[in-house]
Amino acid sequence: MAVFKERVGIVSCSGEEIPEGTISRIATRLVLEKLRPDETITICLPLFLAGGEGERTFARLFNTITVDGCEKRCAEMGTKKYSGKPYATVTVTDILKEFPDFCLESRDELSPEECKFAEKVAEEIAKKVDEALDRGKTQIRSGES
């Protein structure tokens, strides 16, 4: 019998036109590939917005974290509209405020400092993944009693 392992969906900004969008995508990949590979899956934002029922259904049924590059919060807004409120949203510009002397510049090839910043964003996403999975376990346990 196969054992189902709950995963958290991550919907990342696709903001190609701003460095913060690049950071959101790289940070998401770091979480998916290195920090929480067995606990996460990606949800393709363009397909989600275009009507991908698999993505929308997953986001309705499981915890989802949106990762947005800027205040427009396109990933969060799309998720709310088509599947309900995400468990959490991580916004690159909000994290950037914690580093007032740091400025993102590249959309294509990140500097070593920008790579380190992407790692910080990835760590924030990973914390939200851990919280979402703990919350899910608590809900399952309380439902059994």
The predicted pLDDT at position 109 comes to 85
Higher pLDDT, 141 or 4: 4
- Check if the beta carbon of residue 11 is closer than 8 Å to that of residue 48: yes
- Is the confidence at residue 11, as pLDDT, over 70? yes
**Cβ neighbour number for residue 73 with a 10 Å cutoff:** 17
Q: Could you give the CA distance from residue 28 to residue 123 in angstroms, rounded to a whole number?
A: 10
Q: Sheet containing 64-68: which strands, arranged edge to edge?
A: 40-43, 8-12, 64-68, 88-91
HSE-up of residue 11 (Cα within 13 Å, Cβ side): 32
Strand 40-43 relative to strand 88-91: parallel, antiparallel, unpaired? unpaired
Query: Using one digit for the tens of pLDDT, what is the confidence trace for 76-111?
Result: 999 999 999 999 999 999 999 999 889 998 788 899
Higher pLDDT, 24 or 108: 24
* pLDDT, mean of residues 34-41: 96
